[in-house]
Every structure is written in C-alpha cells, then in structure tokens.
C-alpha cells in the first residue's frame, strides 16, 4: 500500500493540471475535479507497486493520465526505448495498439497490456502485411522503410523502421538509392522534399495513408494566425502536409517540439499537432502562450484511468498484446535496423 507520503493529494494534482485549458471543458481541471480523480490515481499507483508494473504514456493521452500515473511520457521513439530498458514485469501502454505491439516486439518475455478498446490508428490501419508483400513485388529492388506507426505484421515485411524524429537521418544513411516509404503519404512527400534540400539523390515512392489529425491542418490557418500574431512561432509535425511544413518555423517529433519551445525565447506558439502536446506545453511552460486551435485524436483520448485500473486488476484477453513469434522476430530486426542507423 502507498504511504500517505507517496499518495498524491487533490492539491498536488491540481497544481499539475490547473494551467491546462486546451479543449475547453474536456481539459479543464478544477480542484473539485482533481479531488474526484485522486482516489483512482492513487489506486493505480498502488497496483503498479504490487505488480511491478510500468505505465508508458504517449504525449497525446489525457493529462490526468500523463501527470497522474505515467512512469514515462514521450513520443513513439522515446517510449520504444523505455520499453526496451524497463525492468518491470508488466507494461501498460496507454496509447494505441501498434505502440503496445512495439513494446512486445522488444520485450517478448514481458506482459504488455493496452487499456483501451478503441486502440486503432487511421495511419496504421491504412496498410497490412499483404499490401506490403504486393508492393514488394511491384518495387522489387527498393528498400522498404516503415514509419513506427504500423502494426507488427507490417514491420515484419519491411527492412527498417523510422520515427518522426529520425526518418530523414535514416533514409539518408540507408545504403540504397531506391526507397519505398510507408504508410504516410504526407510524411513521404516531406521526405522527398527534405532529401532534395539536403542534396541527397534517391528515388522515393510512398504509400497513401494519412493521420486524420495532422492532415486537417492547412497553410491557410498559419496565414490567418500570423496576421493576428506577427511574432508567433509555428511548430508542426512531419505528418502535416508539405504546405504546412514549408510555412512552419520548426518541424519535428513531439519530443523535438518540446525541446524547441524550451529553448526558443519566443512567447507565442501555434502548435500543429494533437491537443495532448499542447496540454503538456501549458503545464510545463506556463509563461508561453499557445494560439489557434488543435485537434483531438479519438484513439489516444479513449485511454482512461478506469481502463488502466481495470487491466491492472483483471485484464481481458483482448487487452493483452500477443504476437506470432515468427512475426515478432522479423519485426524486431526491422526495429533493430533503426537503432543501428541512428547509432552511425
């Protein structure tokens, strides 16, 4: 049992969440609301100790999970490393299923649980293993590079995995002049443009998938905001369309966005990514102002404290990540190739 010293109080939780206003009533945390959340938060933290469990949380998940029960918070790349390094017996991955699968790929001896039934992703669900095998026949001499936002079965059919923070570096380093990138067509278009700007001569084809959150942003939003806030810094994700990327002051992964905001002296920012990151920024940089609007991911936001508590107490079969061992081993080689190229 957690001692009183280690239990979180309503006042402590409110201190962490009080500046978060993104999403209006969805993300407004009064002291009363925090008092309602504290019992289940303390229960979850107690269960973690009893079960030697660790909770990995993506930045896009709701703030009460990020600041209440998470052991690690980050983007896909950081969390995949955390999953590899943890000594916990049980991993609860509050995100979407492909991230839980990545944790299982790298930790086959550990139990990995996904606490939400709405665990899909429009990007990951846009392609399957059969699609990749068909494309390999169509592009036989290409190196297949997959975004980490893919299922284990898709990773198993590809040569190297990438994240939004290392995609440009890895594609530049891969010893092949023919690349097939999947599944994000917008990141693929940005990849083509970036390689051209770097003077890297490679033939790059790409698939047709998109993230429904990031594809909604347009350059017109940037122009409108810059008219009202001429000193604003526009920060976007590589899953946005090329017009957005071209008109941004900084483009990077969620972790890189946080670093940019931490280091730049600007006080006004337009964040073109999922609302969860804006929530983190409001908490961690209260002296900086976020302008404009953000988009919620229905999949990430479907993770709840109640479901985390449930899977820790009595996980159902569908909560458990189970992978075919042959698929897991092939997918692990794809991910290990990513770490190989990032170490070069």
pLDDT confidence of residue 23: 54
pLDDT confidence of residue 6: 66
Contacts of 247 (CB under 8 A, 6+ apart): 219, 222, 223, 234
Taken in order of first residue, the domains within the chain and their CATH numbers are 10-118+300-313 (3.40.50.10800), 124-211+323-343 (3.40.50.10800), 214-290 (3.40.50.10800)
pLDDT confidence of residue 255: 86
pLDDT confidence of residue 214: 94
**Residue numbers of the chain with a pLDDT score lower than 50:** 1-5, 24-25
pLDDT confidence of residue 190: 98
pLDDT confidence of residue 1: 47
pLDDT digits (tens, 9 = 90+) for 139-149: 999 999 999 99
Residue 63 near residue 283 (C-beta atoms within 8 A): yes
pLDDT confidence of residue 46: 95
Which CA distances in Å does 63 have to 83, 146, 236, 237, 244?
21, 29, 21, 20, 27
Look at strands 90-94 and 53-58 and give their pairing: parallel
Residue 54 near residue 83 (C-beta atoms within 8 A): no
Sign of CA dihedral 85, 88, 89, 90: negative
């Amino acid at each position: 049992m957690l001692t009183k010293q280690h239990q979180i109080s309503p006042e402590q939780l409110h201190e962490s969440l009080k500046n978060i206003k993104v999403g209006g009533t969805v993300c407004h945390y009064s002291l009363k609301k925090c008092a309602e959340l504290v019992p289940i938060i303390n229960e979850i933290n107690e269960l973690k100790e009893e079960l030697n469990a660790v909770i990995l949380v993506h930045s896009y998940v709701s703030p009460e999970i990020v600041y209440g029960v998470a052991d690690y918070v980050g983007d896909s790349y950081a969390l995949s490393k955390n999953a590899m390094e943890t000594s916990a017996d049980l991993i609860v991955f509050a995100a979407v299923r492909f991230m839980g699968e990545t944790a299982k790929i790298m930790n086959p001896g550990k139990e990995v649980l996904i606490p939400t039934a709405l665990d899909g992703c429009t990007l990951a669900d846009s392609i399957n293993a059969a699609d990749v095998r068909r494309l390999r026949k169509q592009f036989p001499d290409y190196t297949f590079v997959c975004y980490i936002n893919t299922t284990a079965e898709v990773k198993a059919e590809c040569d190297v995995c990438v994240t939004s923070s290392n995609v440009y570096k890895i594609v530049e380093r891969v010893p092949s002049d023919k690349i097939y990138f999947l599944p994000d067509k917008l990141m693929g278009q940005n990849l083509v443009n970036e390689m051209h700007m770097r003077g890297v001569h490679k033939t790059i084809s790409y698939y047709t998938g998109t993230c429904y959150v990031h594809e909604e942003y347009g350059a017109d939003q940037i122009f409108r905001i810059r008219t009202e806030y001429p000193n604003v810094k526009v920060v976007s994700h590589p899953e946005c369309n090329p017009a957005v990327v071209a008109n941004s002051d900084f483009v990077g992964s969620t972790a890189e966005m946080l670093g940019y905001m931490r280091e730049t002296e600007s006080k006004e920012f337009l964040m073109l990514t999922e609302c969860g990151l804006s929530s983190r920024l409001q908490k961690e940089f209260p002296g900086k102002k976020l302008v404009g609007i953000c988009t919620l991911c229905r999949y990430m936001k479907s993770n709840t404290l109640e479901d985390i508590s449930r899977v820790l107490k009595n996980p159902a079969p569908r909560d458990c990540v189970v992978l075919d061992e042959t698929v897991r081993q092939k997918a692990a080689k794809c991910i290990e190739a990513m770490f190989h190229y990032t170490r070069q």
